[in-house]
Amino acid sequence: MSLTRLDELIKESGVPIFGLRGVQGDVKIDFDPAATPQQRTDTAAIVAGFDWTPRRPRSYLSIISDIAGLSAADRNKLLAAVAADFLRRFPRFAQRLSINVDGDEPDV
């Protein structure tokens, strides 16, 4: 689980990697050749600062409580991000609701 979180953090930072493997203190990263020296340095800092503490999902009620405390603008941003992620996994879902938003595009 921790390696999955670390992989997500590195990719979210914009560093092109194919993946990673290993354990705390010994992580091997498979960089895309397009990764710059600066991106490789940044990745080393991400790995060094990574919190390896095991995590578990929070309860729905605690998450709902946090969401309720958000501003309307932040709540809308969160909902849009969740909808976009869902549509990437289920590209035609919005069309079933007669909403003209695609979750995929031609690969040309």
* 17: in domain: yes
**DSSP-assigned letter for residue 70:** S
Q: Read out DSSP for 94-106?
A: HHHTT----S---
Q: For the segment 62-93, what is each residue's pLDDT rounded down to a tens digit?
A: 999 999 999 999 999 999 999 999 999 999 99
* 75: in domain: yes
69 and 33 co-located in one domain: no
Q: Which domain holds residue 44?
A: 2-48
66 Cβ contact list (under 8 Å, min separation 6): none
Q: For the segment 19-41, what is each residue's pLDDT rounded down to a tens digit?
A: 999 889 899 999 999 999 999 99
* 82: in domain: yes
Number of domains in the chain: 2
Q: What is the pTM of this model?
A: 0.58
44 and 11 co-located in one domain: yes
40 and 65 co-located in one domain: no
* 88: in domain: yes
91 and 71 co-located in one domain: yes
What is the structure's pLDDT at 20? 94
What is the structure's pLDDT at 26? 92
What is the structure's pLDDT at 55? 87
What is the structure's pLDDT at 1? 67
Mean pLDDT of the chain: 94
